[in-house]
Amino acid sequence: MDIKELDELVEMYAEARNTYDDCMTEVKKVKELADVFEHKVHEALLAIGKDKYFVNGIGTVSLDKPKLSVRVPKGLTEIREFKAWLTLKFGIDVADAKLTVNSATLNKLYNDESKEAELKGIPFVSIPGIGEPTEYQKMKFKRV
């Protein structure tokens, strides 16, 4: 490969990268617009009390059941509070294993504890070292 061929190759690469960057900018704009409409459809479904809606020739939108999500303890105090609670509730081996917990596992633990308290008729307040959950709800769209 000579210099001229390398120059042409770099030029083609630069053009391809520029096209890619332009497309990604456009994708970001379209995604933001889709997010606005998703929020509006979500709010509309909630307002009319529906969790599923079908439009002929377009598809179905549906809302998942609301879920709770907690954040993983960040500061040393929160981590120690959480470890103390885990140790008291499950023992040191489980506590040590759960301290490497990812957010999905932590959320499952939180939701299981919440449900257990609900089944026992005990008010569930929180787990030490874990902040208050935020509720979220996903929406799905199936094309026809």
Looking at the structure, tell me whether residues 72 and 103 fall in a common domain. Answer: yes
In a domain, 107, yes or no: yes
Looking at the structure, tell me whether residues 75 and 128 fall in a common domain. Answer: yes
In a domain, 58, yes or no: no
pLDDT, one tens digit for every residue, the chain (144 residues): 899 999 999 999 989 999 999 999 999 999 999 999 999 999 999 999 999 999 999 999 999 988 889 888 888 899 899 889 999 999 999 888 887 778 888 899 999 999 999 999 998 878 888 888 888 888 777 776
For residue 73, the tally of other CB atoms under 10 A from its CB is 21
In a domain, 13, yes or no: yes
Range of the domain at 101: 67-136
In a domain, 55, yes or no: no
In a domain, 76, yes or no: yes
Q: Which amino acid is at 36?
A: V
Question: Could you tell me which of 70, 58, 79, 80 has the C-alpha nearest to residue 108?
Answer: 70
Looking at the structure, tell me whether residues 8 and 34 fall in a common domain. Answer: yes
In a domain, 57, yes or no: no
Model pTM above 0.85: no
pLDDT confidence of residue 63 = 95
Q: What is the number of domains present in the chain? A: 2
Residues with Cβ < 8 Å from 120, sequence gap 6 or more? none
